[in-house]
Structure 1
Amino acid sequence: MGHSSAVWDYKVGIEVSKDWNGIDQIVLRNPQGASARVSLHGGQVTSWRNDRGEELLFTSSKAIFKPPKSMRGGIPICFPQFGNCGSLEQHGFARSKIWTIDDNPPPLHLNESTGKSFIDLLLKPSEEDLKCWPHSFEFRLRVSLASDGNLALISRIRNINGKPFSFSFAYHTYLSVSDISEVRIEGLETLDYLDNLCQRNRFTEQGDAITFESEVDRVYLSSQNCIAVLDHERKRTYVLRKEGLPDVVVWNPWDKKSKSMADFGDEEYKQMLCVDGAAIEKPITLKPGEEWTGRLELAVVSSSFCSENLHPQMRFF
């Protein structure tokens, strides 16, 4: 994804440049050398690198970088729906719109900006959006990179409509892994899940961890706040901590589905795993003037970390 040098500095640790479609993208950096890149196309995080420059998010080699199509990889934002139902495009329209930089966001908690490089983005519905989803809203997104390299996304959605509306939501997070058959997820044991490969029927997770040997497309319900994705080969663990997002989507297309997707390489399923903080089973309903907040923080730790450290009430923001 080609980009030019920065055209102006927004804050310390931030540069704004144009991608090859002429759309602004923001690069956040911390003093240790970690970075994150956010595109105004979709408000999508397209890259997250650690202080050694290693890419932590997966992007398909076949990804199409052409609006309005959402790019296959990074962290697309699914709003106002996850999945495919009704007249809206799959996973909603937020990921295919051009967002703006929000220069005057309402204040967040003090610690949301302390020691962090961050950018605030804003999405409001267009006339076209209101025709297919007739609800006025303001969607504010903060993406921040902390001094320890942790990546955080905070979404605030406000109803500025005259009547209530409901939506579902997901941070559709594509993690880069060494080999999907060597990966396990801890923190979802014993939960009920909806299986999209079985007409969304409800099952209960029986394993002591989730491992992968075929296509998986599930929504785990009412999960704890902290999930671990252990990459055995790289000896590293992704830790996802979330608030306001009760559900977790787990998706890997495996070989057959991979071959059917034009913007996805036939063998790339081996190097990726989607684990999404989401609100799907019970849609969020906002009355006029009400605001919802959904937070996700991603960290990478050594794989000596294990699920005994995953306290359900663990707070981090």
Structure 2
Amino acid sequence: MSEAKLDMIEVQGQAAVRVQSPDGAQATVLLHGAQVISWIPARGEEQLYLSPQTVIAPGQAVRGGVPVVFPQFNQRGPDTSLPRHGLLRTRAWTVESSRQEKDHAQVTLVFDDNAETRALWPHSFTVELTVSVSNTRLDLELYVQNPSDSAWDFTAALHTYLAVSDVTQVRLLGLEGCPFEDTVLDERHIEDHPEKRFYGEFDRIYSGVKDLLLRDGPRRLNITQAGWPDAVIWNPGPHKCAALADMPDADWQCMLCVEAAAVFEPITLGPEEEWSGRQSLVLLTD
């Protein structure tokens, strides 16, 4: 084991780290929000969507990649007065460690509570994101610890934006039989489609999701999660996309969010307790 090859770079003037495995797989992670904005498998192409109109700047959310949502998912969580999707995606993290082995490389970024976060949410916490790349695989692990002497609740997500060729042509397999809440229609059902298709605005929270397969023409992407009880599938559709200042009007066709999440039931951490959840993306090759 050795220290991973890390290239400190800038993206739109903001610090970022690029981690690369010996086989050439690489990921780029902003220190701003610990947000992964690029994943390129070995001998492959970009797998994540990043809006060409997004602005990467302190205090601003970045549209695309993998935003880290904590401790509040939208208006679901411990405190609806918190910023939408929480405290961490618009603040600077620090690189804690990195390592490289013969078949993969990884980097861990960390954020500890500070005076700014405690003014909004009066709790002590440590959150780490570990990003690992290897061949055709990307692993993202979110770790949360409560170092205080009192319990608190949180909701969270890895808000993964996947690049797709045309969202109306892709198929997502693995949701059949999973209960879901449709937040567009304000309805709850059980998914009865073996292959999910997307034609417009789509915003559903599923429970019991473990293993998904995205089919996009010849491309096949396996998406698994562990520790996360829920999954959010989202696309703004043409009308909502046109209202987003940080996304081209037609780019709803170029992306699909498949998010590992804890939304329906907040997670409770007692003093000195910890939790972790992992999302793994594997580009399948013949």
Selected match of 2:87 from 93, 109, 125: 93
Asked if structure 1 preserves the Cα contact closer than 8 Å seen for 2:173 and 2:213, the reply is: yes
Q: Secondary structure at the match of 2:222?
A: strand
Q: Give yes or no for contact 1:167–1:283 (8 Å, CA) kept in 2.
A: yes
Whether the aligned pair in 1 keeps the contact of 2:22 and 2:104 (CA below 8 Å) is: no
Query: Is structure 2 residue 1 aligned with structure 1 residue 13?
Result: no
- In structure 1, what is the Cα distance between the partners aligned to 2:4 and 2:226? 28
**Could you tell me how far apart the structure 2 residues matched to 1:113 and 1:90 are?**
38
Deviation at 1:103, TM superposition (A): 4.0
Aligned pairs for 1:18-97 within 5 A:
18-21=10-13, 23-84=14-75, 86-97=80-91
1:176-187 equivalent positions in 2, closer than 5 A: 176-187=163-174
Cα shift at 1:222:
1.8
Q: 2:138 aligns with which of 135, 151, 158?
A: 151
**TM-score normalized with structure 1 length:** 0.84
Distance 2:193 2:24 in 1: 38
Q: How many Å apart are 1:134 and its aligned residue?
A: 1.1
Contiguous gaps of at least 5 residues in structure 1? 1-9, 106-111, 305-317
Pairs within 5 Å for 1:1-317: 11-21=3-13, 23-84=14-75, 86-103=80-97, 115-146=103-134, 148-199=135-186, 201-223=187-209, 225-232=210-217, 235-302=218-285
Contact preservation (8 Å) 2:4, 2:107: no
**1:282–1:113 CA distance, 2 compared to 1 (3 A):** farther
Q: Distance in 2 between matches of 1:19 and 1:179?
A: 27
The amino acid across from 2:180 in the alignment is Y
State the distance in 2 between where 1:204 and 1:103 align.
Answer: 42
CA RMSD of aligned residues (A): 1.9
1:42 shift after superposition: 0.2
8 A Cα contact 2:26 2:39, kept in partner:
yes
Aligned in 2, Cα 1:53/1:228: closer, same or farther, shift over 3 Å? closer
Matched residue, 1:5? none
Q: Which runs of 5+ in 2 are unaligned?
A: none
Q: 1:55: how far off?
A: 0.9
On the 8 A contact 2:98/2:107 being kept in 1, the answer is no
Write the deviation string for residues 92-151 of structure 1: whole angstroms up to 9, x where unpaired: 11111100111499xxxxxx96732111111011212112111100112111112x2311
Name the amino acid aligned to 1:176. Answer: A
Check the 8 A contact 2:22/2:103 in 1, yes or no: no
CA distance in 2, matches of 1:289, 1:12: 30
Contact 1:152-1:298 at 8 Å conserved across structures = yes
Letter in 2 for 1:140: E
With over 3 angstroms needed to count, the CA separation of the structure-2 counterparts of 1:257 and 1:152, relative to structure 1, is same
In the superposition, relative to structure 1, how do residues 206 and 104 fare at CA in structure 2: closer, same or farther (>3 Å)?
Answer: closer
Q: Partners in 1 of 2:179 and 2:32 — Cα distance?
A: 34
Distance in 2 of aligned mates of 1:267 and 1:20: 23
How far does residue 33 in structure 1 lie from its aligned partner after superposition? 2.3
Call closer, same or farther: CA 1:103–1:28 in 2, change over 3 Å.
closer
Q: C-alpha separation between the residues in 1 aligned to 2:23 and 2:130?
A: 21
1:34–1:49: 8 Å Cα contact kept in structure 2?
Answer: yes
Which range moved further: 282-291 or 44-53? 44-53
Retained in 2: the 8 A contact 1:33–1:53? no
Q: Secondary structure at the match of 2:116?
A: helix
Cα pair 2:219 2:284 within 8 Å, conserved: yes
Structure 1 CA distance for aligned equivalents of residues 6 and 278 of structure 2: 21
28-37 or 271-280: bigger deviation: 28-37
**What secondary structure is seen at the aligned counterpart in 2 of 1:60?**
coil
